[in-house]
Structure 1
């Protein structure tokens, strides 16, 4: 579990991070209506909208009979899953619809529910409520066996254009198929580098290792289209002008990641699901100069990679490496070079000599992740490096150092990148 000093509390969230969002940006975090308009205008992937209804006349005039299958009705300014109806298909009489739990609901009941939304019954925020009718995103085949009746979603915390933490929310019988922790869904932490799930909690915050059926493990689930999903999340946050927010996404089998909504004041239980503190991660990216969403994603994946995912991959046995190994380092324009690397458990982050980095074209502006202080060298760049060791490719963040210009080896592999490897004798 994380150190107490690394945990972000509600007061710190509100005073230090939520407060960095402008009033204009915050409205995207409180209004699904404003968010939908923004996403569609910016061409950011989101669920298809069939209608946004603002009056009782709009509701009565809406062509409900044309809604044959897979649609959702939701309030524009609700939260915690309140007021949402999710339908799988239309009944044969075209006057009733079957929801995801098998309930049969009439046209009149749907219209009455929409009237309740307009009257503010499910509203949390002060904006004028609207009824949103949109596409229901079916469960992705890779996640189907883990989810009960409803579509799971992914919450990504974005700060300063960097994705810093993420959580898969799995519907359960207790949540009645809703991906909402307050209603009983599970929260499952995700390794930022690999998109592989790590730890999990119940809606009440209790740690768990299996689904409610007691059979399927919650760790080791690979999230589809992971890097694309992170890029979409950061792009959506940037489009809204939100410095700090939670971005909720579904994964469509064919369309890929779709933004569901933005939350300018995201919940904090994501820390329990990841066994990691948000405060520490947010502080690490506070002053970084992030060029674009792709750059932000590279930073997030490099900074917040977990050892857990490597342990999952290494369950079939450790790979033994010698203290010095010959590796291939890949650069720009298909450049590559064979060189000697030292397996250095005495340093945390891997390092590359400045001469080799320059030779491979790795110190271009586009390749810089961030700068960090190094003893005796001051402020040095950190770049993304791909190398091949023992027939396996690795991509990681490496410190660029002058010290390795003077040694026989030009690469040092730190313990951050040695998980799953056993350093033996010569």
Structure 2
């Protein structure tokens, strides 16, 4: 396993650091710190997306001919690590990391020409229409139906836990287009304009107090057939390909290190001393060891990819451990602020309150982030699913 970077890679690291220093404002960093939900909202990431778009750095994982950067795996790792250290906002993944790769691989030339530039520029804001009531991990049981009517599909049904559907102007959705003995064979993959007549969105407020997810209803919604990706009834193939990106490896150790630093400062402040509460300090040290181990897995993945080896199910290990570590860190934060965690701030967003909050900035998002984090081991493939993948594909059980 080669852990060293070349001169060129170190020069690229310096370029990334210079870019971040120039384009990441203190205001945006504060907004990101006070965003307790998993994904940043558009007011938080808009200026950062614009800067990346201008630089040509929005879509590092895309082929260069479609707007990608042409970076090596090491450059992508360096970029993500430096962004994590700096606390940059996370770009909305549904366009760049999910539907974009599907359009590149399976979309028509017309679809590529229309959608890909709009994803890179940020003009389109995407959401994901997969889960339904009763169809989460068992996604093939979905019931939202699309019936062919000439040049359109007529869509009826509902999607749930649809993140940022209240902001989105586009959705990629799985719909049932045929009843087949094998349920996966009767599903199609549609690109839907969220402004189409018959679409309505109902907010779902999470236990963290945020409006992050929604239920979306389709009532005789007409979607052009040309908005279908690939073949009719073959959507399961495209959905599985997309899940490789949703559940794929992301490098989180650097962001966790930043979070650990914030916990240490908070513990020192509330514990009235440089070391803070000793028992909390011990738990932080234990979490730091877990982050060290996670970083080594990330570097092993990077080394494998650099050498042309298939990393296999290690992405499940990273997803599993990453979400568990995140929950551990937010739990420590709650324990550090103690009874202040009982103070509930119902107003949102926390970064633009009209009146001063009761808690200081470094405590304001601690409890909401912890509560929101309960879902991290559920979305994107539950921990139970990740355990099954590891057991079957890594351990042969």
Q: TM-score range by the shorter chain?
A: under 0.3
Q: Which of the pair has more CA radius of gyration?
A: 1
* Structure (1 or 2) with the greater strand fraction: 1
Name the structure with the higher helix share: 2
- Normalising by structure 2, we get a TM-score of 0.23
TM-score by length of 1: 0.22
